[in-house]
Amino acid sequence: MSFAILYKADKWVNRILSYPGIDKNSLTQKKINWFASIAVTLMIFCVTMTYHLVFPQLRILIYYGLILTAIYLQGIIFPIFFHYSGVWRAFIDQSLVVILTFVCILLLGGIPWSGGLIFVGLAQVFFSLNFREKRATILIFILYTVTILTAGLLNPFLTVPPEMTPSVNISLFVVNLLWIS
């Protein structure tokens, strides 16, 4: 019974993600990316809602999580309607995540008070290895490096919001460290 459901689900996913001329390997890669997008989007949304319930005063992180959810939601919707979406759409999404994470790190008071958001940018570098396009990976790495260096240089001038307590910082740090591992 469960095998039949999985078989039907697989056929449905093949139907919505395939297009004329797509080869089996490309379809498999597209399915892997699509399922990963679903998993990442759901996880980010769940973590955001949990933080909304546990730490409702952390508006910076809640807005950050909701914007990330919207960015990653594109990875679920776009492949269904735009069959030929490729590396550069994902590159733009990941670049937006790196930039948004950088802004959030600054708003939280810098790298030491970012709750490990520095790992989110690093994850984008690792995820970009799936692009099969070296230029995109190199550009993501450069963008990540520039944001980290800039955050480090700006650190003495940043202030930590009162709601970013040490307990909130460490809990978010643990969540982000587990997320990337």
Query: Can you tell me the distance from the alpha carbon of 150 to that of 164, in angstroms, rounded to the nearest whole number?
Result: 21
Q: How many residues does the chain have?
A: 181
Query: Can you tell me the distance from the alpha carbon of 37 to that of 29, in angstroms, rounded to the nearest whole number?
Result: 12
Is-contact 55 168, C-beta < 8 A? Answer: yes
- Does the pLDDT at position 47 exceed 70? yes
pLDDT for 85 equals: 63
How many CB atoms are closer than 10 A to CB 43?
13
- Does the pLDDT at position 107 exceed 80? yes
- How is 31-100 classified by DSSP, letter by letter? HHHHHHHHHHHHHHHHHHHHHHHH-TT-HHHHHHHHHHHHHHHHHHHHHHH-TT--HHHHHHHHHHHHHH
Is-contact 102 121, C-beta < 8 A? Answer: yes
Q: What average pLDDT score do residues 162-179 get?
A: 90
Rounded to the nearest integer, the mean pLDDT of the chain is 89
- Does the pLDDT at position 129 exceed 90? no
Tokens of 171: 């809990």
Query: Can you tell me the distance from the alpha carbon of 30 to that of 6, in angstroms, rounded to the nearest whole number?
Result: 18
C-alpha count within 13 angstroms, C-beta hemisphere, residue 48: 18
Is-contact 162 114, C-beta < 8 A? Answer: no
Strands (E), 15-116: none
- Does the pLDDT at position 131 exceed 80? no
3-state secondary structure 110-135: CHHHCCCCHHHHHHHHHHHHHHCCHH
pLDDT in tens, 48-86: 999 899 889 989 999 999 999 999 998 888 888 877 666
